[in-house]
Amino acid sequence: MSDSENRSPASSAPRRRPAMLLLTALVFGTIGIAWGAWWAIEARHHVDTDDAYVAGDVVQITPQIAGTVLAIHADDTDQVRPGTVLVELDPADAQVALDQAEAALARTVREVRTLFATGASLDATVAQRQSDLARARDDLRRREALTGTGAVSGEELQHARSTVNAAEAALANAREQRASNHALIDNTTVEQHPSVAQAAAKVEEAWLALQRARLPAPIAGQVVKRSVQVGTRVSPGQPLMAVVPLDSLWVEANFKESQLGGMHPGQRAVLTADLYGSKVEYHGRVVGLAAGTGSAFALLPAQNATGNWIKVVQRVPVRIALDPEELKAHPLRIGLSMVVDVDRRDPGDGQPLASAGVTARRSSEAMPSLADGARQRVEAIVAANLGAAVSRGAPVAGSPVAGTPVAGTPVAGTPAGHAPLAVLR
C-alpha cells in the first residue's frame, strides 16, 4: 500500500478545521460589517417605541340651562351627525319666561313711544306759555301807561302784575317738564332707547334659554359615556354624554428622553396597530413634543430631592398625526396600542400639520349662533308695537316714527301654535 492510501480521515480533519473557522469568521464578519453599515446609514436615524396609544377628542355634551330631561335620542355606540338632537329638556319654564319678557318689551316700547309723544306735547305747552306771558306783559304795559290818567285803578294794575308773575311761573314749569322729558329721549330713538334695549336683552336671554332646551351634537362621531336618564333633573354644566369624532384621532407616543435628539415637528412616522398587526401600516407626521415629561404633569409629580434617589429614564409624549384616508380605511379606537417609528433624518416637506391628519375641532357649523334668531324676534316685536315704520337714522323728535305694521302679522321666530303675547294691538 502507498503512503496516501495509508492516511486516515482523522489525519485530514485538522487541515480542514482552519478553513472552516476562517469561513465562519468571514461569514460573521460580513454580517457584522453589513449590519454596521446598515446601522450607520439607516438604523441610527430611526427611533421607535411601543409605548404609544391612540388618542382623540372626547366632546362632552352638557346643558346650559337647568331642566328636566324629556327625551334621549342617542345611546352609547350610536353614530350621530352634526346637529342631531341628543337630549331634550322640558321647555315649559323657558317658554313662560320668554312670554313674560316679550310682554315686558312690548309694554316698554309703548311707554317709550309715550315719552316721545309727550315731548311734542310739552314743546307745544312751552310755546303756549310763552304766548300767555307775552300777552300778560302787554296788558301790564298798557295799564302802567294809563296809571297817571286815573283810567286804571291800583287794584287792576296789581292784578295785571300778578298775571305776569303767574305766566312766568307757568312758563318756567313747562320748560322744566320739557327738559325732564328731553333728558329721557334726546339723541336716541324708540328702538335704541335704554329701557327698550334692557327689555330686548331680557327677551334675547329668554329666547336663548328656550332654544337651549334641545342639545344637538356639535360634531359627527360616536356616542360614549351616556349617564343621563329620562326624568332626571339636570343642572348647567352637568355631563350627560360624550361624542368621540373617530375621523380625527391621533397617537400619543412616549419616547425616551435619549431618543428625542433631532426629533422635530413635520418628520414622517410609520405606525402599526396591535389591532391589525404589522400587515397594516399607518403613515403620519410628528405634530409636536410635549412641554414636559409624563411624570412632570402627573397628579403626584416625582420628588427627586431625596437621599434614596434612583435615576429613571423619563419619557416625553410626542403627538403623531395620522393620515385621514388610512384612518378611514382602517378605523381605530381611543386607547389602542401602537408601535411608532420616526425617521429623524426627515426635515419635513412643509405640509401643514392640520392637513396631515389633525382635524382641529375649534368650531361647529352644526351649532350656529342663536343670537341672530333672538335679534330677529326682538326686532319683530319692536316693529309690531311701534305703530309706525322704524326709522334707524336720526333720533325721533317729538313724535313716533311713521309706518304701521299689518295687524295680526305673526312675529318672526314664533314657534308653531304659539301666539306672541308681546304684540299688543
Average confidence (pLDDT) over 316-329: 92
Instruction: Judge whether residue 409 has pLDDT over 90.
Output: no
> Which of the listed residues 143, 177, 195 is the one where a domain comes to its end?
195
pLDDT bracket for residue 367 (50, 70, 90): low
By mean pLDDT, which of 64-68, 346-350, 375-379 is the weakest? 346-350
- Answer whether residue 422 is part of any domain: no
Give residue 53's pLDDT.
Answer: 95
Q: Does any domain span residue 9?
A: no
Confidence of residue 405 (pLDDT cuts 50, 70, 90): very low
Please report the pLDDT score of residue 177 as a whole number.
77
Three cell numbers at 406? 299689518
> Which three three-digit cell numbers place residue 292?
414636559
Look at residue 99 and tell me whether its pLDDT is greater than 70. yes
Burial of 346 (0-12, 13-18, 19+ CB in 10 A): middle
Give me the sheet containing 221-224, strands edge to edge. 59-61, 241-244, 221-224, 79-80
Residue 54 resides in a domain: yes
My answer on whether 324 and 269 are in the same domain is yes
Is there a domain that residue 324 lies in? yes
- Per-residue pLDDT tens digits for 162-186: 887 888 888 888 788 777 777 777 7
Residues 178, 249 share a domain: no
Mean pLDDT for all residues in the chain = 78
- Statement to judge: residues 108 and 168 lie in one domain: yes
- Residue 12 pLDDT > 70: no
Indicate whether this model's pTM tops 0.85: no
268 lies in the same domain as 351? yes
Which one has a higher pLDDT value, 159 or 57?
A: 57
- Please tell me whether residues 255 and 354 are part of one structural domain: yes
The CATH number assigned to the domain holding 341 equals 2.40.30.170
Q: What is the pLDDT of residue 189?
A: 82
Residue 312: is its pLDDT beyond 90?
no
Q: 264 and 154 in one domain?
A: no
Is residue 34 included in any domain, yes or no? no
Contact 410, 420 (CB under 8 A): yes
Cell numbers at 237, concatenated: 354644566
What pLDDT does residue 420 have? 39
For residues 241 and 349, membership in a common domain is answered with yes
Residue 414 grid cell = 314664533
Of the residues 166, 195, 224, the one at which a domain ends:
195
- Give the structural domain span for 326: 47-63+237-294+312-358
For the chain, the maximum distance between any two Cα atoms, rounded to a whole number of angstroms, is 194
Q: Decide if pLDDT at 126 tops 50.
A: yes
Whole-number pLDDT of residue 123: 79
Q: What is the mean pLDDT of residues 350-367?
A: 49
pLDDT confidence tier of residue 85, bands split at 50, 70 and 90? very high
Identity of residue 368:
P
* Final residue in a domain of this structure, among 195, 223, 256: 195
Does any domain span residue 208?
no
- Provide the CA 20 distance to its chain's centre, in angstroms: 76
User: What region, left, alpha or beta, does residue 304 occupy, with left being phi > 0 and alpha being psi -120 to 50 degrees?
Assistant: alpha
In the chain, what percentage of residues exceed pLDDT 90?
Answer: 37
- Shared-domain flag, residues 271 and 338: yes
Asked whether residue 407 is assigned to any structural domain, the reply reads no
| Total domains, the chain | 2
Cα distance between residue 326 and residue 357, in whole Å = 10
Check if the beta carbon of residue 245 is closer than 8 Å to that of residue 219. yes
49 φψ region: left (φ > 0), alpha (ψ -120 to 50), beta (else)? beta
- Beta-carbon neighbour count of residue 39 at 10 Å? 12
